[in-house]
């Protein structure tokens, strides 16, 4: 750059004040809220702060022609009003559109960007009553059409009435028509309760000395519910220290309470559980209690993407995100949350949090406890199979078990026990094959070519000839059934499945008319232009059914 050109630039440059439209900024910040219930979350946080010292908080919701109406009432310290810009009181700060603690003003435990008051302004009307008790005055505030006023690029003007004194200390904030454009169906009691217990101060995830009573009233239904994250209510995390995993084999659940190895990073904790039995904890995405949830200052705000935070095996099918209820507690990420508190802004702290949480999960997923947890389904499968085998063995050896016997016409050949009386289609298949091997089926030809299985189509493909002189059928289809009731329910076409072999044809429960034939074991069913042939093994020649006692009396033994 030449000296003359540099001199030209310096001589014609100056600092300017950028144009800032404060009202537009406030409107945009307010619009960032994720859903209408975020208003309750922020108002509840204001009431639940330690500085407010409320022992009872009432949350109410209803809907009328003006829209959704939310109200939060607490018996806390109340809000003072100073009308002093340098030393604003609580009410001054609430009514102001500034950024509260983020600009250096005194803030309560959960306050940072004044989101509660901002969201309240997105409404048709705001009503506030607050008093510090005793001889302190009662302040009554009315703000009419605050959102319409902001939309017209004007600042809402709250009207404050000062009464001599109030009977009780506390604060009531009623927001009418929030937001003004929402006219959908009312929220349900269960919907609001789930949200409160999993996304607000009501579902506090950490330890707290004083636990306020919280009452919820929705469209006239009122209920007091226990304070704290409900899925953690019966888990005593203090009983197993940090760096700890506890496997409860009986509950098929791995409980987690882990912190980073470095003492400098102890501001992060991963706690909760993963389980093979999600039903016992009522886990489901609709209940807002699955996956990885970020909790800041004890308040569970939103789900984190497990993959982004280094969760691998747990996230997939072992046991899967929907069978996990895990919370990342991290207070120092508070100032990195976006204005709606629905996410974390891109920052060095956000990257550090991902790294720390990823390292914790790496330790969890490579631990011996987790490996044992993963083997629980395999163990259960073995136990179930062992139980099934033991039960089947017990039944076979019991006196109530009946047996199928083939009685030969040749007196020189002994009677043969073939199989237990069939209980399923597989037993019938085994019986057919045994009779086929003995050449004991009452057909001229019956040669099994293949077993395909009912799940894939036909059961058997066979070379078949019923009687001498008949027409041989190569690769004909045979459907196998335990009991025959109705052909149509199987969804087969008679032209494709013209023959059925079954163990029995019960007298009751049949849905089709059977036609007798000259053979005691054969029936026909007329379906459309096709005729289906039904062969009943129980009625075939030389087939008998005996109990264990009857076998012994006949001298037949295994």
The sign of the torsion formed by the CA atoms of 456, 462, 465, 466 equals negative
Rounded Cα gap, residues 417 and 407, in angstroms:
9
What tokens appear for 266 in the block? 């102890």
What tokens appear for 149 in the block? 């006023």
User: Are the beta carbons of 138 and 165 closer than 8 angstroms?
Assistant: yes
Alpha helices of 184-322 — where are they, by DSSP H?
189-199
The sign of the torsion formed by the CA atoms of 229, 235, 239, 245 equals negative
Rounded Cα gap, residues 504 and 383, in angstroms:
33
Q: What is the pLDDT of residue 103?
A: 45
Question: Which residues have C-beta within 8 Å of that of residue 43, sequence separation ≥ 6?
Answer: 70, 72, 116, 120, 173, 175
What spatial distance separates the first Cα and last Cα of the chain, rounded to whole Å? 108
| pTM of structure | 0.69
Strand partners, 479: 500
State whether CATH 3.30.565.10 applies to domain 22-225.
yes
DSSP E strand stretches across 291-343: 291-296, 299-304, 324-330
User: Are the beta carbons of 174 and 127 closer than 8 angstroms?
Assistant: yes
Edge-first strand order for the sheet with 522-527 is 445-451, 460-465, 473-483, 499-504, 530-536, 522-527, 515-516
Strand partners, 533: 499, 524
User: Are the beta carbons of 491 and 479 closer than 8 angstroms?
Assistant: no
User: In degrees, to the nearest 5, what angle opens at C-alpha 253 toward C-alphas 252 and 254?
Assistant: 135
- List the chain domain ranges: 22-225, 231-377, 402-545
Rounded Cα gap, residues 397 and 92, in angstroms:
85
DSSP helix/strand/coil, 141: strand
DSSP helix/strand/coil, 121: helix
User: Are the beta carbons of 303 and 266 closer than 8 angstroms?
Assistant: no
Fold observed for domain 231-377: Ribosomal Protein S5; domain 2 (3.30.230)
User: Are the beta carbons of 170 and 130 closer than 8 angstroms?
Assistant: yes
Rounded Cα gap, residues 310 and 292, in angstroms:
11
Rounded Cα gap, residues 116 and 114, in angstroms:
6
Rounded Cα gap, residues 152 and 145, in angstroms:
11
The alpha carbon torsion through 465, 469, 474, 477 (nearest 10 deg) reads -40
User: Are the beta carbons of 81 and 91 closer than 8 angstroms?
Assistant: yes
Farthest-apart Cα atoms in the chain, separation: 128
Edge-first strand order for the sheet with 543-547 is 416-420, 402-406, 543-547
The per-residue DSSP string of 102-118 comes to GGT----TT-SS-HHHH
| pLDDT under 70: residue ranges of the chain | 1-22, 25-26, 28-29, 31-32, 97-106, 112-114, 166, 239-243, 263-266, 380-388, 453-458, 487-497, 528, 558
What tokens appear for 168 in the block? 């009780």
List C-alpha distances in Å: 178 to 43, 122, 194, 338, 468: 13, 6, 20, 21, 87
What tokens appear for 222 in the block? 């009122």
Rounded Cα gap, residues 107 and 96, in angstroms:
13
Rounded Cα gap, residues 558 and 552, in angstroms:
10
């Amino acid at each position: 750059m030449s000296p003359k050109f540099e001199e030209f630039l310096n001589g014609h440059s100056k600092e300017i004040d950028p144009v800032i439209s404060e009202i537009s900024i406030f409107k945009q910040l307010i619009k960032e809220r994720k859903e209408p219930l975020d208003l309750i979350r922020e108002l509840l946080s204001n009431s639940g702060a330690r500085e407010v010292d409320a022992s009872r908080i009432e949350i109410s919701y209803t809907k009328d022609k003006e829209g959704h109406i939310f109200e939060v009432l607490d018996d806390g310290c109340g809000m003072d009003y100073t009308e002093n810009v340098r030393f604003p009181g609580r009410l001054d700060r609430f009514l102001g559109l500034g950024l509260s603690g983020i600009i250096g003003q005194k803030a309560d435990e959960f306050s940072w960007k004044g989101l509660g008051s901002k969201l309240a302004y997105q409404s048709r009307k705001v009503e506030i009553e607050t008093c510090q008790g005793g001889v302190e005055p009662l302040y009554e505030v009315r703000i009419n059409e605050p959102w319409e006023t902001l939309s017209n690029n004007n600042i809402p003007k709250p009207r404050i009435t000062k009464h001599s004194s109030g009977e009780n200390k506390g604060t009531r904030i009623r927001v009418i028509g929030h937001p003004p454009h929402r006219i959908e169906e009312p929220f349900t009691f269960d919907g609001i309760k789930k949200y409160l217990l999993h996304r607000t101060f009501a579902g506090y995830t950490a330890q707290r000395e004083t636990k306020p009573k919280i009452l919820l009233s929705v469209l006239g239904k009122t209920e007091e519910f226990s304070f704290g994250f409900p899925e953690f209510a019966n888990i005593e995390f203090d009983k197993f220290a940090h760096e700890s995993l506890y496997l409860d084999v009986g509950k098929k659940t791995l409980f987690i309470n882990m912190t980073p190895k470095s003492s400098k990073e102890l501001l992060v904790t991963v706690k909760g559980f993963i389980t093979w039995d999600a039903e016992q904890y009522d886990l489901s995405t609709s209940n807002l209690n699955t996956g990885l949830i970020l909790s800041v200052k004890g308040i569970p705000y939103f789900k984190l993407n497990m993959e982004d935070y280094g969760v691998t095996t747990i996230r997939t099918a072992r046991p899967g995100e929907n069978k996990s209820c895990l919370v990342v507690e991290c207070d120092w990420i508070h100032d990195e949350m976006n204005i709606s508190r629905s996410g974390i802004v891109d920052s060095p702290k956000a990257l550090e949090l991902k790294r720390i949480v990823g390292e914790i999960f790496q330790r969890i997923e490579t631990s011996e406890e987790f490996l044992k947890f993963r083997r629980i389904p395999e163990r259960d499968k073995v136990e179930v199979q062992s139980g099934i085998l033991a039960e089947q063995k017990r039944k076979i050896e019991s006196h109530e078990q009946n047996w199928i016997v083939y009685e030969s016409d040749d007196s020189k050949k002994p009677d043969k026990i073939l199989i237990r009386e069939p209980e399923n289609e597989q037993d019938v298949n085994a019986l057919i094959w045994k009779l086929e091997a003995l050449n004991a089926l009452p057909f001229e030809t019956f040669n099994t070519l293949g077993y395909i299985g009912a799940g894939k189509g036909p059961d058997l493909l066979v070379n078949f000839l019923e009687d001498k002189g008949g027409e041989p059928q190569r690769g004909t289809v045979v459907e196998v059934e335990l009991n025959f009731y109705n052909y149509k329910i199987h969804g087969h076409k008679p032209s494709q499945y013209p023959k059925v072999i079954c163990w029995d044809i019960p007298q009751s429960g049949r849905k089709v008319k059977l036609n007798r034939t000259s053979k005691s074991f054969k029936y026909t069913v007329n379906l459309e232009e096709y005729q289906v042939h039904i062969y009943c093994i129980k009625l075939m020649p030389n087939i008998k059914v005996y109990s264990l006692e009857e076998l012994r009396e006949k001298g037949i033994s295994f």
